[in-house]
Chains A and B, each alone.
Chain A
């Protein structure tokens, strides 16, 4: 047996995992295990900014950020957690700067900030400059900076190890089993604590901004082992993905003044969000786009609309809206500003669409983007095993894979980055403390048994169905039926289809029969995990008979605070599923109608 012993193992090397590693490794012996090289993690794809009420360009307060987060999440946000996140955000963005993160600067040398969807001055209700940014590659700079600090601090990495199993003994976490991709061998990491920072599962849908690697392996394994997942019905569709490809076009484009235009040339968000317009919450805008398309107002009647950042168009609307700079002069944008502030967006459009955003509008459609739900945790990253907040001793999670819940039913732009650094840090600190209080538990008997059985069953079929075929079918049905708008009928159909695909999975065969770097085998296992999550996502969506945030039911169009102001927990028990509920923690903000 390939055996390693650590105080703690962190799985995933994106923003949450690296932040946890930096803090946990100060007081404990830590390993970071990732199926990728750390710098390939999807935090690096985040573009527009990280929200923090620094107030560098205009008045702002973390309480305003907290209110926007709660409202953005359609009041399903736990307000104690949102307070912690938005309060801690200010210090942690400064800390990132101190680590060397190259934020863009204001004329007086401070961190520059831009407007972003749903972030407002709570008095005027107008967009506020809160998103601290480094061009349109803020996530890239966060990932690079945290990885740099890990090198400085000599954090130990196990790159290209696929997590396969969580080990439990004596009722607490005892380590993990991981598959070393290069050798094809299993490794046992024996530890007091395990920290999940594995990101989301956007690859369940066929139009997605997410990397191929985002397949939800960790939550699927936890589900199989009898642990619950929280709020799985809430998955965000970002309004502006590149048409047909899903590649993300940051909200920062609209922060800089970009507007959404339908097939009749209308700036249609005026209708849906008269105050904040193109900077409404993402769920609101994605629904507006679907409605425009459904009513025949897509571009040329097709299923996309335009995102327009051409200077002449932007400047016309900035003037119409009376937008000004901090010094009171009228706000305008030039072609050079776009090249400077949105260089990657310009590059994506030119590369993949052959469209130059300075002279042409960009064809966009909503793209599956972010899991609000996930592994339930408290505000220090401790994994919870039920709706009564019972922790799993030694189990931690943070970032997209976790559900604290700071995003509720819909996440605000920039808050993913805030979430992963704030709760990555808090979880890392809490985990090191835990490690210093407990002894290493014994390993369970035959620790590799589950992982061995999984690999053997995947390799058992000498021929059959390629995993890709089932994956494509799953992604299509999830997009059509478990997307922006849902109904009982659509969801019931999707459930049947996903269950049929799960049955067919028994016939999947892996055509690469080798041991070394067998990514064919890994893709099959990832599909198994995705099918699991597709099923619980659909079940949770069927179960919630209301519309709230990213979960829009055509057959239940209203938010129902009487019956549904609560988090859902779902458990898998054999072939059956069980739900339980947890009340939302309300603080200063009573639920009210959500108008932008």
Chain B
């Protein structure tokens, strides 16, 4: 089938501002949007620029706004997008070229939540730290995050204030706060309780709707809020 891709373009060496360009392309119904973009890039206009790698929704490279909603280009099929598809870079991060944005502000917020296990006790010498199936389950959902930025860049609170840590960083914080092996719960909750922390979430649910990993982000944020109010994660 023939579709029109309406793409928001920006070339930093040529353009003063973003503008729309249309490309017609033949696709199979089961093609990914990434396949369609590749066809344009490979055979029509090599300057069309986007990040991509794994091409099956696990590396998190190709987040973009597709028909108004944040998606991974490799995780949405053409048959679900209609005959005219709009494609724009994700919002709230500086655009470098076409769909490529500067991810550094996003990763800076990720690093700000100390995204690593903190446990200064010597681990047992010849075996693992034990963890019950139930304790492991408490943070299972938030271990799925691939740092694609779909959630954070769909969040009106993040658009309004780029200093807000944003949903992705809170998901990462949740992953450690609720890990029974982590010893820095209070330090983490303090970071989350900051003015740029978890209270900026207005439960708009954009993040949940667009997460390609189907993480229940608003629930995770709610659990972090509750932990702050309770002064810990409880039993």
- Footprint of B on A, CB under 8 Å? 36-37, 39-42, 44-45, 94, 97-100, 102-111, 134-135, 137, 140-141, 144, 148-149, 151-152, 182, 211-213, 245, 247, 344, 347-348, 351-352, 354, 466-469, 510-520
Contacts and interface: CB of A to CB of B under 8 A. Distances in A.
Contacts of A511: 45-47
B146 A351 contact: no
Given A44-B59, A518-B47, 8 more contacts: A45-B56, A94-B123, A348-B57, A466-B46, A512-B49, A516-B96, A520-B41, A520-B47
Interface stretch (B7-15, B84-92, B193-201, B202-210): B7-15
Contacts of B219: none
A40 B181 CA distance: 26
B116 A148 contact: yes
A36 B13 contact: no
B127 A149 contact: no
A40 B53 contact: yes
B179 A517 contact: no
Contact of B131 (A105, A351, A517): A105
B128 A39 contact: no
A346 B112 CA distance: 33
B181 A100 contact: yes
Nearest to B42: A468
B54 A109 contact: no
A99 B117 contact: yes
A580 to B, nearest CB: 35
Given A110-B127, A111-B128, A517-B97, A45 B58 contact: yes
Contacts of B42: 466-469
Interface of B: 11-14, 30, 32, 38, 41-43, 45-47, 49-61, 75, 77, 96-97, 100, 103, 107, 111, 114-117, 119, 123, 126-133, 136, 139-140, 143-144, 146-147, 175-176, 179, 181-182, 214
12 contacts: A39-B59, A45-B54, A98-B129, A108-B130, A149-B116, A152-B114, A247-B56, A351-B77, A466-B42, A466-B46, A510-B46, A518-B49
Contacts of A212: 52-55
Contacts of A100: 116-117, 119, 176, 179, 181-182
A108 B46 CA distance: 55
Contacts of B46: 466, 510-512, 520
A212 B97 CA distance: 20
B103 to A, nearest CB: 7
A105 B96 contact: no
Contacts of B115: 148, 151
B3 to A, nearest CB: 18
B143 A134 contact: yes
B54 A40 contact: yes
Contacts of A468: 38, 42-43
Contacts of A107: 133
Given A102-B139, A468-B43, A517-B100, A40 B56 contact: no
A501 to B, nearest CB: 16
Given A39-B60, A512-B47, A151 B111 contact: yes
A211 B97 contact: no
A573 B192 CA distance: 60
A40 B130 contact: no
Given A137-B144, A466-B46, A514 B116 contact: no
A107 B103 CA distance: 41
Contact of A44 (B11, B14, B54, B107): B54
Nearest to A108: B130
Contacts of A39: 59-60, 146-147
A40 B97 CA distance: 19
B59 A109 contact: no
Contacts of B132: 105, 109
A99 B179 CA distance: 12
B58 A140 contact: yes
Nearest to B50: A519
Contacts of B49: 512, 517-519
A105 B138 CA distance: 13
A455 to B, nearest CB: 15
Given A97-B128, A98-B129, A102-B143, A351 B57 contact: yes
Nearest to A47: B58
Contacts of A105: 131-133, 136
Contacts of B54: 40, 42, 44-45, 211-212
Nearest to B103: A37
Contact of A514 (B14, B111, B140): B14
Given A111-B128, A466-B43, A348 B55 contact: no
B58 A36 contact: no
Q: Which 10 pairs across A and B sit closest by C-beta, in order of nearness?
A: A100-B117, A468-B42, A511-B46, A109-B130, A520-B46, A512-B47, A148-B116, A98-B123, A152-B116, A97-B128
